[in-house]
Amino acid sequence: MTVSRIVAGGVWFGLCLLAAADCAAGTSNSLLDISADGQLLACSNRDAGTVTLIQLPDLKKLREVPVGATPEGVTFLGDSHQVAVAVYGDDQIVLLDADTGETLHTIPVFDEPYGLVSSPDGRRLYATLDYPGQVVTIDVATAAVVAQHNAGSFLRGLALAGEPPRLYVTEYYTATVIALAPETGQILDRWPAASTDNLARQLIPHPRRPKLYVPHIRSRVTAVHGEGSIFPYLSVIDTRADQERRRTRIPMDAFLGNRVTANPWEVAVSADGRKLAIVFSGTNDMFVCDVVDDDYREVTYRGYVTLGHNPRAVRFSPDGLKLYVYNALDFELVAYDAESLRAAGKVAVCENPLGGQVLQGKRLFYSALPPMVGRRWISCSSCHPDGQPDGRTWHNPEGLRNTQSLAGLLDTHPIHWSADRDEVQDFEHTIRGPLMQGRGLIPGRVNESLAEPNAGRSAEADALAAYTNSHKFALSPHGKQGLSAEAARGRELFFSRETACASCHSGKLYTDSAPGPADKLVRHDVGTGQDDPTEKMGPAFDTPSLLGVYRTAPYLHHGRAATLEDVLTTCNPDDRHGKTSHLNPGQIADLVEFLKALPYAGDKP
For binding to ligand HEC (CB under 6 A), which residues are involved? 229, 378, 380, 382-384, 394, 396, 401, 403-404, 406, 409, 412, 415-418, 424, 427, 430-431, 435, 464, 468, 494, 499-501, 503-505, 524, 526, 528, 541, 543-544, 546, 549, 552, 555-557, 564, 567-568, 577-578, 580, 591, 595
To the nearest whole angstrom, how small is the minimum distance from the Cβ of residue 229 to ligand HEC?
A: 6
To the nearest whole angstrom, how small is the minimum distance from the Cβ of residue 565 to ligand HEC?
A: 10
To the nearest whole angstrom, how small is the minimum distance from the Cβ of residue 464 to ligand HEC?
A: 6
Could you check whether the bond before residue 414 is cis, i.e. omega within 30 degrees of 0? Answer: yes
To the nearest whole angstrom, how small is the minimum distance from the Cβ of residue 605 to ligand HEC?
A: 15
Rounded Cα gap, residues 76 and 529, in angstroms: 52
Rounded Cα gap, residues 592 and 587, in angstroms: 9
To the nearest whole angstrom, how small is the minimum distance from the Cβ of residue 516 to ligand HEC?
A: 15
Rounded Cα gap, residues 75 and 41, in angstroms: 10
Q: Which is nearer to ligand HEC, 2 or 393 (CB)?
A: 393
CB 131 within 8 A of CB 156: no
Q: What is the dihedral of CA 430, 436, 442, 447, to 10 degrees?
A: 30
Q: Which is nearer to ligand HEC, 359 or 424 (CB)?
A: 424
CB 561 within 8 A of CB 533: no
Q: Which long-range contacts (CB under 8 A, 24 or more apart) does 144-148 make?
A: 144/107, 145/107, 145/109, 147/183, 147/185, 148/110
Q: Which is nearer to ligand HEC, 161 or 546 (CB)?
A: 546
Q: Which is nearer to ligand HEC, 138 or 546 (CB)?
A: 546
Q: Which is nearer to ligand HEC, 395 or 604 (CB)?
A: 395
Q: Which is nearer to ligand HEC, 127 or 501 (CB)?
A: 501
To the nearest whole angstrom, how small is the minimum distance from the Cβ of residue 443 to ligand HEC?
A: 17
Rounded Cα gap, residues 353 and 589, in angstroms: 42
To the nearest whole angstrom, how small is the minimum distance from the Cβ of residue 469 to ligand HEC?
A: 8
Q: Which is nearer to ligand HEC, 12 or 555 (CB)?
A: 555
To the nearest whole angstrom, how small is the minimum distance from the Cβ of residue 426 to ligand HEC?
A: 9
Q: Which is nearer to ligand HEC, 174 or 229 (CB)?
A: 229
Instruction: Tell me the HSE value of 601 on the side-chain side, using a 13 A CA sphere.
Output: 8
CB 370 within 8 A of CB 439: yes
Length of the chain: 605
Longest pairwise C-alpha distance within the chain:
74
To the nearest whole angstrom, how small is the minimum distance from the Cβ of residue 364 to ligand HEC?
A: 8
To the nearest whole angstrom, how small is the minimum distance from the Cβ of residue 374 to ligand HEC?
A: 13
Rounded Cα gap, residues 51 and 593, in angstroms: 36
To the nearest whole angstrom, how small is the minimum distance from the Cβ of residue 409 to ligand HEC?
A: 6
Q: Which is nearer to ligand HEC, 286 or 501 (CB)?
A: 501
Q: How many CB atoms lie within 10 A of CB 196?
A: 17
CB within 8 A of 170, min separation 6: which ones?
155, 156, 157, 158, 176, 177, 178, 200, 201, 202, 203, 214, 216
Q: Which is nearer to ligand HEC, 28 or 405 (CB)?
A: 405
Could you check whether the bond before residue 192 is cis, i.e. omega within 30 degrees of 0? Answer: no
To the nearest whole angstrom, how small is the minimum distance from the Cβ of residue 529 to ligand HEC?
A: 6
Q: Which is nearer to ligand HEC, 149 or 432 (CB)?
A: 432
Q: Which is nearer to ligand HEC, 90 or 423 (CB)?
A: 423
To the nearest whole angstrom, how small is the minimum distance from the Cβ of residue 431 to ligand HEC?
A: 5
Could you check whether the bond before residue 443 is cis, i.e. omega within 30 degrees of 0? Answer: no
Q: Which is nearer to ligand HEC, 92 or 418 (CB)?
A: 418
| Angle at alpha carbon of residue 454, lines to 229 and 387, rounded to 5° | 45
Q: Counting beta carbons within 10 angstroms of the beta carbon of residue 514, is it exposed (0 to 12), middle (13 to 18) or buried (19 or more)?
A: middle
CB 177 within 8 A of CB 237: yes
Whole-Å CA distances, 596 to 37, 246, 406, 483, 605 = 46, 37, 18, 10, 16
Q: How many CB atoms lie within 10 A of CB 58?
A: 9
CB within 8 A of 280, min separation 6: which ones?
232, 252, 261, 262, 263, 264, 265, 286, 287, 311
Rounded Cα gap, residues 329 and 318, in angstroms: 26
